[in-house]
Amino acid sequence: MLSRVAESIYWMSRHVERADNLARFIEVHHNLALDLPQATDEQWQPLVSITGDEALFAKRYGPATRASVLQFLAFDADYPHSIVSCFSQARACARSVRETISAETWEQLNEFQGFVAQAAAQPPGERPDDLFERVRLAGHLFQGIIDSTMSHNEGWHFARLGRMLERADKTSRILDVKYFLLLPQVQDVGGPLDDLQWSAVLKSVSAFAMYRRRHHGITPPRVVEFLLLDREFPRAVRHCLNAADQSLRAISGTPRDTFHNPAEQRLGQLQSELAFASVDEIVDRGLHEFIDGLQLKLNQVNDAIEQVFFALRPVDDLAARPSVQNGALRAD
């Protein structure tokens, strides 16, 4: 498969997943604001913090309000990570590889890109009430169409690889921002407001029902453990990394417990870190610090994938390329 084709499929999938995660977070946060007591201030700043683009938002919009945050995250065509921009970029990627993806994938992406663009062009009061639910469902539908209409060859694995890495990143960001910015006052810990906010964290990644079946009562350490370390829940970071590793190895043909390029090495190291981590150690070390390190390593995995599979220069030209024999790192 050509590097250009692989890169377009990888980013098409990441952009759709990013739009899906933004929509579900906005939707749940909006519902949470409606449920809060009237004396409680709405907190819209966490939705901006999750992007890491607080400075850009403050420069263009000033204080975070419901209207300004929704415009920035959902409809701002000049912000490359808004929902409307994500669908636009996903469509551009899909257009360049129409001969590789299925006709159903192309048609579905066209339909939802047009729907979101039309909503963005309307005045705020005329935008459909169910917009974010439809975007979230579009993400599910897009994933289902790819899985059921594309051969599970290299192209499908690049789409899955992009989706899983994006999902792992967004789950960690949601957990990080909520953990720090939505903690209630000390006297509220363990109370109805505390439970309501942690329930919102779980709902934002569609994890509420599965968490309750596993743990019943809601406590912060159990929520952290479920969203970071669970092997079975499809939006937990560990599950996402395991699925990404399966696709990466299917593409390269590298057996488990070995690596032949920097992408496999970095992703394997991150998998091992989560496999042997405990939630008590993470909390003692500091959740924010742990997630900061996790996101940095996810970026390094993405950079390595770019270098190994998408860069124009041959893989053999990569500087300081590690090699491995029987799972042990050997310096060249």
Is the model's pLDDT at 124 over the cut of 90?
no
Average pLDDT over residues 123-151: 88
Q: Which residues fall within 8 angstroms of residue 304, CB to CB, at 6 or more apart?
A: 261, 262, 263, 265, 266, 267
Q: Name the region of 319 (left: φ>0; alpha: ψ -120 to 50; beta: rest).
A: beta
CA angle (249, 99, 5) in 5-degree steps: 40
H helix intervals, 54-182: 54-61, 66-70, 83-96, 103-121, 131-149, 154-181
User: In this model, does residue 295 exceed pLDDT 70?
Assistant: yes
Residue 318's pLDDT is 45
pLDDT at 92 over 70: yes
Distance CA 330, CA 279 (A): 32
Task: Return the residue matching tokens 């039309």.
Answer: 118
What is the arithmetic mean of pLDDT over 211-218? 88
pLDDT digits (tens, 9 = 90+) for 152-191: 999 999 999 999 999 999 999 888 766 655 554 545 555 6
Give backbone dihedrals phi and psi of 3, rounded to 5 degrees, phi first. -60, -40
Instruction: Compare 179 and 93 and report the one with higher pLDDT.
Output: 93
The C-alpha atoms of residue 271 and residue 237 are separated, in whole angstroms, by 10
Q: Which of 113-127, 185-199, 202-216, 246-260 is least confident? A: 185-199
Report the percentage of the chain scoring pLDDT > 70: 85
Residues 243-282: pLDDT tens digits?
A: 999 999 999 998 888 899 999 999 999 999 999 999 999 9
Output the average pLDDT for the chain: 85
Label residue 157 exposed, middle or buried (CB < 10 Å: 0-12, 13-18, 19+).
Answer: buried
